[in-house]
Amino acid sequence: MYKAKIIQKKSINSVINERKLLAKVRHPFIVNMSYAFQDRENLYLIMDYLDGGDLRFHIGKNRNFTER
């Protein structure tokens, strides 16, 4: 994640809270975070691999899903 973009969107608290939550959660149905680190320009969250993308991507792409 680009630090400048996080600051621009005023999402600092959201990102900090997300990182804290992901650091605590361990569940087979939730993407787990293994590590988090940063450099001058970026924040890095090392997470489980999601083959096929995450749910937010698919919701943005399709908007609606059938029950099946």
Strands (E), 17-68: 33-38, 43-47
CATH class held by domain 3-62: alpha beta
Q: d(Cα 1, Cα 63) in Å, to the nearest integer?
A: 24
So where are the chain's domains?
Answer: 3-62
Structure tokens at 6: 């996080």
Q: d(Cα 15, Cα 9) in Å, to the nearest integer?
A: 11
pLDDT in tens, the chain (68 residues): 999 999 999 999 999 999 999 999 998 888 899 999 999 999 999 998 878 777 778 888 888 888 87
What 3-state class would DSSP assign to 35? Answer: strand
Instruction: Report yes or no on whether pTM surpasses 0.95.
Output: no
CB 36 within 8 A of CB 44: yes
Residue 16 is given by DSSP the state H
